[in-house]
Amino acid sequence: MLYVKRDAWGNLEQVEAAPFEGMDGEIAADSQEAQAWYANQAVESSLLKLQQSDLDMIRVLEDLITVLIRKGVVRITDLPEAAQSKLVGRSKARDALGGLQRLINDDESGLI
């Protein structure tokens, strides 16, 4: 048995294995509604992980471009104007926040 809370339209808002404050019903764990809830939660979780991965990759690409520019492999002017503008804008935002070092997580060793 699962314990649930529903919205005003009867849609599941919360599903838990144990009773919780604010619950307003129960459903069978093997019900189609419960299975659909958990499938939807799995999809949402995957989407959130993918979104976070995208944000992480943006940082990796930004750092890679910075390294290539510093090594003289590419010049910022080799990039389209829109990319130049975005890179300069992010660089200014980082500088305003105290540079790269404050933005690197403790578990990261630094730039790639």
Q: Is 54 exposed, middle or buried (0-12, 13-18, 19+ CB in 10 A)?
A: exposed
Q: What is the mean pLDDT of the chain?
A: 87
Interval 4-8 mean pLDDT: 94
Q: What is the pLDDT of residues 28-53, one digit of tens each?
A: 999 999 999 899 999 999 999 999 99
Helical H segments across 1-112, by residue range: 32-70, 81-96, 100-103
Q: Determine the pLDDT at residue 82.
A: 94
Q: Determine the pLDDT at residue 106.
A: 46
Task: Tell whether the model's pLDDT for residue 110 goes beyond 80.
Answer: no
Task: Tell whether the model's pLDDT for residue 77 goes beyond 60.
Answer: yes
